[in-house]
Structure formats: structure tokens, C-alpha cells
């Protein structure tokens, strides 16, 4: 048989050629996969969620609605300029007309009326009244006479006031309540932004833990496959019992099943992650664990003070009490003695042509005072007052309890965050010790110094649990950090208020 011999130089040249061909064939595929793979840090995920997640977009639109509600409230108390016109009013009918002797007769009428007026109204917030200024011109064409006649009536200027004297003045309360509601909405938007961050952290760690679990499952499958092949060799040499070989085969089968389950969990977590962040489906996501943490202590009392000063809850407590007081005041004012004053002064003139209708104007005055006195209402007004007072007591009790629960929640969350440093250290140390123990046990088993497969299996289980425990501790740390940010709207790491330029949303 003929043998072919290769020199070292020829063999090296052949290997180099094979490598180059492999790069040419598979280089493009690897490059394409590298381009599709996207790595995300926790901070990047939080930023994307706050920009384009469904929760962030809904929070934006809720804030914009509150903004325009507040703008509408302010516009209500600004001067209102209005143009009214009738072009034309045609009336050809039979109507009752009062004769000179005081009797009423039915007579045919036929005329066309035109009118135009320009008026400015201004509400007086502190009194609840309205002042107005107007000017107008009317024209009437009468067709019943032998020759049609035309007349003009000018209202050169009218100045007046309409003032309720004892009615409920809503503006007196709304001027305090409405700005609080708007500020509350602004703070709620910032809180929702922090809540979006907390949600994104949940999705991030759900996918990260699924990613780690899949890695652990693949590693265990590979290790048990290696151990099973080694055990087969030992069993052939009679160094181990069949029971140990079967135990390793069972562990390998379980590891293969765990890979399938972990792959399914990972795909599900990946789909939810992409859906929340609204990422394209073609991206391959790789998450970077946020292992670098900066530990600091949050004093509970300072956290409570910041929450009272910065959050929407602190404003909500005040607003609810003001609204209850407003309800009591309205119940006391409605259904009682009431009066309304109307006064107007103007200049007017009539003529058969427009220029003369503005010459030598005559003064016009109108004053009226109307009163309403309930005589018998069967206790309805008193009942409304009692209901409003009872509602105020109920609101006061609820607000006091909500304040207690609010402060208690912040106190607990502060303590929970402050203990995370020790919990992380314990979890990291446990992961290191468990990994070292598993490595030692695996090496000893492979060289035959450990014969009990259960000892190796227990070391592997403890190692997996410790690693997952570390990542769960990371998840708890970051979740607690953003929870305390949301509850206080204060960044204790930077020692600054959490601020968002909400005005940029209006552009």
C-alpha cells in the first residue's frame, strides 16, 4: 500500500488554506449574526421604556389632558370677546298688539330685523359676578305701511354688572383646587415615569434570569453528558455499579428536559420584553447584568419629608380636604336666601339713517334686584348641609388614615433598601462558595476520589440555586431603589429632586 508523506511546511500550508476557505464560506454568516445581536444595559432599558413603552405614552397623554383642563379653567376667567348677529330675522304673521286704550287686538305684522353687537364679558372671581361692555346696531324694515319704512336703533355703549349677592362662589374654591389638581397631575406624570422604570426593571430581570437559567441548563447538560460518558467507561472496567451509571443517565435526561423548558421560558420572556419596549423582532437580545451597585443609606425620616413635599400624594391629601370644605360651603349657600343685582348704563338713539342714529345719544339706565326666599322646604337644605358635613368628616378620617399608611409604606421601603447591601454581599459570597464547591467536587469525581454521585448532584443543585439567588438579590436591589425613587420623587444617590421637563411634551 502506497503511503503519502507530507512535510511540516506542506501540512502548514494545507491547514492555512482550509482556514481561509472556512472564513470565506462562513465569515458572512457570523458577521450577519453579530450585527443582529444587540446588547442592553439596565440603564438603556430604563431609558427606552420611559421613551416608547405603552405605559409611558399613556402617561404622557394623561398629563396633556390635565394640562388642557387647567388651561380651560384659566381661560374661563379671562375676558371673553363675542360677536352676535342676526342676518336677518323675517317675521310676516298675525300677532297680538296692545292698542292705545289698553286692549289687545290681533293685527297682521310684516317686518325684517337685522342686528349686530360686539360685547366683552369678564368674570369677577372674588365676588362671583360678571361685568360686561357692549355696543350694537339694529335695523328694522316695516312693510305694512303704504310705503315701507326703515328705522335704526344704536346702542353706542352699554356698561353693566350682574352680581349674585349670597350665591355659592365656585371660583373662590377653584382658584385653589384647580392649580393643585394640575400640579398633582404633573407630579403623577413623574411618578408614572419612575413606575415605568420599575416595570422595565421587572421585564429586564425576568429576561436576564431566563437567560441565566438557559445558560445553567446548557452547562448542566454538557457536564452530565461528559460525566455519563466517563461513567460508561468506568462501568465497562467494573469500577462503578450499574446503579450509579443509571443515576447519571437519569440526571442527563433531566438536564436535557431542563434545557427545553428553559428555552421555552426564555423565548416567552424575550417576547414580553420586546413587546413592552416595542423593539423589532429581528434583534437578538443580550442583557448585561448590572452587578456594579453603589450602596448608600436612606434615612426613613428624610424620605418621608421628601415624599410629603414632592409627591402627588401630599397634594392629594390637601385637595381632598379643600373639596370637602367646598361641598359644605355650597350646601350652606344653596337653597337659602339669595339675591342678584343687575345694573346697566348705556347711550342709545334712533333714526331713519345710520349717521343720525349716533347723534345726540340718550342715556339709558337699568337696575334690578331680585331675591329668592325659601319658605318651606321640609328640611331639604338642612339635610344637604348635614350630608356635606358628614362627607367632610369621612374624608378627613380617610385622609388621616391614608397619611399614616403612606408614611408607613415609605418607612418600610427605606428599611428594605438599606438592607440590600448586606443581602447582596451574602448572595455574592454564597454564589462564589457554591461555585468553588461544585468545581472541587466535579474534579474529584472525575479522578475517582468521589464515588457518590449524589454528592456531585447536591453540589450542582446548590451551585445553581446560589447563582439564581444572586441574580434575584440584584433584582430586589434595583426594584427597591426605583420604588423609593417613585415614592419620594427624590434621587438619594445624587441628592437632587427627580425632574422632567414636562413643558417639552407640549412642543
pLDDT attached to residue 442:
83
pLDDT attached to residue 142:
85
pLDDT attached to residue 328:
92
**pLDDT per residue as tens digits for the range 285-319:** 899 999 888 888 999 999 999 999 999 998 999 99
* Nearest partner of 174 among 133, 235, 125, judged by Cα: 125
CA distances from 344 to 134, 370, 375 (A): 11, 15, 31
CB 113 within 8 A of CB 92: no
Domain boundaries, the chain: 38-66+175-320+396-506, 80-124+129-166+337-373
**pLDDT per residue as tens digits for the range 266-284:** 999 999 999 999 987 777 8
- Give kind and range of the element (H or E) at residue 467: helix 453-488
* Nearest partner of 348 among 507, 117, 184, 58, judged by Cα: 117
pLDDT attached to residue 102:
67
CB 420 within 8 A of CB 345: no
pLDDT attached to residue 219:
92
Strands 37-40 and 490-491: unpaired
Which regions of the chain are under pLDDT 70?
Answer: 1-36, 102, 145-147, 449-452, 507
What is the C-alpha separation between 240 and 159, in angstroms, rounded? 111
pLDDT attached to residue 291:
85
Identify any residues that bridge with 177 across adjacent strands, giving them in sequence order. Answer: none
CB 327 within 8 A of CB 161: no
What is the C-alpha separation between 56 and 195, in angstroms, rounded? 9
What is the C-alpha separation between 249 and 232, in angstroms, rounded? 10
pLDDT attached to residue 19:
34
Q: Which fold has domain 38-66+175-320+396-506?
A: Outer membrane efflux proteins (OEP) (1.20.1600)
CB 40 within 8 A of CB 286: yes
pLDDT attached to residue 451:
61
C-alpha cell at 458: 447536591
Amino acid at each position: 500500500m502506497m503511503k503519502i508523506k507530507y512535510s511540516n511546511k506542506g501540512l502548514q500550508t494545507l491547514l492555512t488554506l482550509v482556514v481561509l476557505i472556512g472564513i470565506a464560506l462562513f465569515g458572512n454568516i457570523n458577521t450577519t449574526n453579530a450585527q443582529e445581536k444587540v446588547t442592553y444595559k439596565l440603564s438603556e432599558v430604563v431609558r427606552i421604556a420611559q421613551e416608547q413603552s405603552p405605559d409611558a405614552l399613556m402617561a404622557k397623554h394623561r398629563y396633556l389632558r390635565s394640562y388642557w383642563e387647567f388651561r380651560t379653567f384659566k381661560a374661563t376667567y379671562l375676558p371673553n370677546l363675542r360677536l352676535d348677529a342676526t342676518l336677518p330675522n323675517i317675521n310676516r304673521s298675525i300677532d297680538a298688539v296692545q292698542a292705545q286704550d289698553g286692549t289687545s287686538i290681533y293685527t297682521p305684522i310684516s317686518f325684517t330685523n337685522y342686528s349686530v353687537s360686539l360685547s366683552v364679558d369678564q368674570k369677577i372671581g372674588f365676588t362671583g359676578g360678571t361685568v360686561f361692555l357692549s355696543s350694537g346696531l339694529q335695523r328694522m324694515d316695516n312693510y305694512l305701511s303704504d310705503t315701507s319704512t326703515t328705522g335704526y336703533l344704536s346702542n353706542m355703549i352699554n356698561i353693566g354688572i350682574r352680581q349674585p349677592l349670597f350665591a355659592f362662589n365656585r371660583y373662590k374654591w377653584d382658584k385653589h383646587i384647580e392649580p393643585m389638581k394640575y400640579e398633582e397631575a404633573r407630579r403623577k406624570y413623574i411618578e408614572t415615569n419612575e413606575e415605568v422604570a420599575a416595570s422595565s426593571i421587572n421585564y429586564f430581570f425576568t429576561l436576564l434570569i431566563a437567560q441565566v437559567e438557559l445558560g445553567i441548563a446548557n452547562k448542566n447538560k454538557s457536564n452530565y453528558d461528559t460525566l455519563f460518558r466517563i461513567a460508561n467507561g468506568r462501568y465497562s472496567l467494573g469500577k462503578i455499579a450499574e446503579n450509579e451509571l443509571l443515576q447519571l443517565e437519569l440526571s442527563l435526561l433531566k438536564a436535557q428536559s431542563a434545557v427545553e423548558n428553559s428555552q421555552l421560558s426564555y423565548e416567552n420572556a424575550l417576547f414580553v420584553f420586546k413587546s413592552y419596549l416595542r423593539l423589532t423582532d429581528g434583534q437578538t437580545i443580550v442583557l448585561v447584568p448590572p452587578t456594579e451597585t453603589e450602596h448608600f443609606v436612606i434615612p426613613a425620616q428624610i424620605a418621608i419629608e421628601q415624599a410629603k413635599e414632592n409627591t402627588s400624594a401630599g397634594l392629594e391629601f390637601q385637595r381632598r380636604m379643600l373639596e370637602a370644605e367646598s361641598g359644605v360651603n355650597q350646601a350652606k349657600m344653596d337653597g337659602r336666601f339669595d339675591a342678584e343685582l343687575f345694573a346697566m348704563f348705556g347711550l342709545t338713539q334712533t333714526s331713519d339713517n345710520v349717521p343720525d342714529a349716533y347723534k345726540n345719544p340718550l342715556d339709558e339706565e337699568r337696575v334690578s334686584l331680585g331675591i329668592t326666599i325659601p319658605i318651606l322646604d321640609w328640611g331639604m337644605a338642612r339635610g344637604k348641609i348635614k350630608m356635606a358635613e358628614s362627607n367632610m368628616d369621612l374624608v378627613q378620617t380617610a385622609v388621616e388614615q391614608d397619611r399614616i399608611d403612606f408614611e408607613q409604606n415609605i418607612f418600610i421601603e427605606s428599611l428594605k433598601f438599606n438592607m440590600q447591601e448586606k443581602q447582596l454581599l451574602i448572595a455574592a459570597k454564597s454564589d462564589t462558595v457554591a461555585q468553588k464547591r461544585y468545581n472541587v467536587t466535579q474534579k474529584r469525581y472525575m479522578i475517582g476520589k468521589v464515588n457518590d454521585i449524589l454528592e456531585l448532584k447536591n453540589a450542582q443543585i446548590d451551585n445553581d440555586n446560589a447563582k439564581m439567588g444572586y441574580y434575584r438579590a440584584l433584582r430586589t436591589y434595583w426594584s427597591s431603589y426605583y420604588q423609593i425613587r417613585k415614592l419620594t420623587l427624590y434621587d438619594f444617590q445624587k441628592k437632587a429632586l427627580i425632574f422632567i421637563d414636562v413643558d417639552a411634551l407640549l412642543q
